[in-house]
């Protein structure tokens, strides 16, 4: 890289005033994030921007989950400035800020070489499914089970389920998505066993996070929101190992992309009670 190039780059903290420029970078990548989506992401995390001659040409965001874990996302370098070390500079600077935490992210094909060089290892694959939501899909509930709207009294139980399923302290993230979206709870007798959030994102709606004790419970929760949103554009990001892929394809929610989940440090260890069947967002892990 030419010395002159290095001298031109200014790296600084991202503020709310930068969001329109970050949205432009997303747009160039054909990513669906609206300014509102990016504002929400920034409100629960932090970001860095790289400027050349006062123009934002690179971004990165991070979210801290307790003292042990963090995720990275919205890692973009403007096409005209790629391949000159900017992505590496942004990622290295943010990783340093995150201290001793294990850092997780969902890498695009383009991002993978950069993260491998920075010490990230592949741990999973996340499949992005989206389409106009199909009509009613029947998923029979088992004896004693029901899906019902969330009430204020569920908040603690859902946070415990989400923390256990992710192996991380996800309280702040969950509070934010619960406040923004609508949530249904899977109960067995009167005990909360899982939940699914529906909220606005990008071109339509996203179903996530979805936490459930098993794949049948997850299908019941997802089918609820697809049925409610029938005909609207819906997206859902599911771990490949969730066992939901074929079912989603069969009901009319095809896979359109996939990303690689990577970790730098020891990956979180989820509990036994429930699993994550859909992510809150690719950026948030």
User: CA separation (Å) from 214 to 9, 185, 226, 244, 274?
Assistant: 49, 14, 19, 11, 7
Provide the phi-psi class of 260: left if phi over 0, else alpha when psi is between -120 and 50, else beta.
beta
- Given 21, 44, 68, 84, the residue binding ligand COA (CB under 6 A): 84
Q: Which lies closer to ligand COA via its Cβ, residue 78 or residue 161?
A: 78
- Given 32, 85, 227, 265, the residue binding ligand COA (CB under 6 A): 85
Told to check if 258 binds ligand COA by CB under 6 A, we report no
Q: Which lies closer to ligand COA via its Cβ, residue 71 or residue 242?
A: 71
Please name the residue that has the structure tokens 């504002």: 39
Told to check if 75 binds ligand COA by CB under 6 A, we report yes
Name beta bridge partners: 131.
234
Minimum gap (Å) between residue 51 Cβ and ligand COA: 14
Scanning 83-91, 148-156, 172-180, 229-237 for contacts with ligand COA by CB under 6 A, the matching segment is 83-91
Q: Which lies closer to ligand COA via its Cβ, residue 110 or residue 156?
A: 110
Question: What are the φ and ψ backbone dihedral angles of 125, each rounded to 5 degrees?
Answer: -125, 135
Q: Which lies closer to ligand COA via its Cβ, residue 60 or residue 226?
A: 60
Strands (E), the chain: 9-13, 46-52, 55-65, 69-77, 102-107, 121-132, 145-149, 182-188, 191-201, 204-212, 233-239, 255-264, 275-278
Can you tell me the distance from the alpha carbon of 226 to that of 228, in angstroms, rounded to the nearest whole number? 5
Minimum gap (Å) between residue 85 Cβ and ligand COA: 4
Kindly state the tokens that stand for 192. 């909360």
Minimum gap (Å) between residue 202 Cβ and ligand COA: 15
Rg (alpha carbons) of the chain, rounded to whole number: 19
Residue nearest to ligand COA (CB): 87
Task: Compute how many other C-beta atoms are within 10 angstroms of the C-beta atom of residue 276.
Answer: 23
Scanning 13-21, 82-90, 191-199, 246-254 for contacts with ligand COA by CB under 6 A, the matching segment is 82-90
Told to check if 86 binds ligand COA by CB under 6 A, we report yes
Of residues 94-153, which lie at the interface with ligand COA (CB under 6 A)?
A: 107-108, 110-111, 113-114, 117
Scanning 71-79, 183-191, 205-213, 249-257 for contacts with ligand COA by CB under 6 A, the matching segment is 71-79
Q: Name the burial class of residue 250, with classes exposed (0-12), middle (13-18) and buried (19+) by CB atoms within 10 angstroms of its CB.
A: exposed
Of residues 24-43, which lie at the interface with ligand COA (CB under 6 A)?
A: 29
Told to check if 92 binds ligand COA by CB under 6 A, we report no
Size of the site for ligand COA (CB under 6 A): 18
Contact 199, 181 (CB under 8 A): yes
Minimum gap (Å) between residue 150 Cβ and ligand COA: 31
**List of residues 6+ apart from 250 with CB closer than 8 A:** none
Q: By CB under 6 A, name the binding residues for ligand COA.
A: 29, 75-77, 82-88, 107-108, 110-111, 113-114, 117
């Amino acid at each position: 890289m030419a010395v002159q190039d290095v001298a031109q780059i200014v790296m600084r903290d991202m503020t709310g005033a930068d969001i329109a420029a970050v949205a432009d970078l997303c747009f160039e990548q054909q990513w669906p994030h609206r300014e509102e989506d990016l504002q929400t992401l920034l409100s629960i995390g932090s970001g860095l921007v790289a400027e050349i001659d006062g123009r934002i040409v690179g971004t990165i965001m991070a979210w801290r989950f307790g003292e042990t874990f963090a995720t990275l996302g919205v890692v973009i370098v403007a096409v005209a400035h790629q391949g000159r070390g900017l992505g590496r500079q942004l990622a290295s600077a943010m990783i340093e800020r995150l201290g001793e935490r294990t850092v997780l992210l969902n890498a695009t094909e383009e991002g993978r070489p950069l993260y491998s060089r920075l010490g990230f290892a592949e741990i999973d694959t996340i499949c992005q499914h989206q389409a106009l939501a199909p009509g009613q899909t029947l998923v029979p509930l088992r004896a004693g089970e029901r899906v019902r709207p969330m009430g204020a009294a569920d908040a603690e139980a859902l946070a415990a389920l989400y923390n256990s399923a992710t192996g991380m302290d996800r309280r702040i993230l969950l509070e934010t998505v619960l406040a923004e979206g609508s949530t249904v709870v899977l109960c067995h007798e009167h005990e909360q066993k899982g939940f699914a959030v529906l909220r606005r994102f990008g071109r339509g709606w996203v179903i996530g996070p979805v936490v459930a004790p098993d794949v049948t419970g997850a299908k019941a929760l997802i089918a609820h929101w697809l049925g409610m949103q029938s005909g609207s554009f819906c997206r859902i990001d599911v771990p490949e190992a969730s066992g939901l892929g074929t079912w989603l394809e069969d009901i009319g929610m095809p896979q359109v992309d996939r990303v690689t989940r990577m970790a730098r440090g020891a990956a979180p260890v989820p509990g036994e009670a429930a699993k994550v069947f859909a992510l809150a967002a690719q950026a948030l892990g």
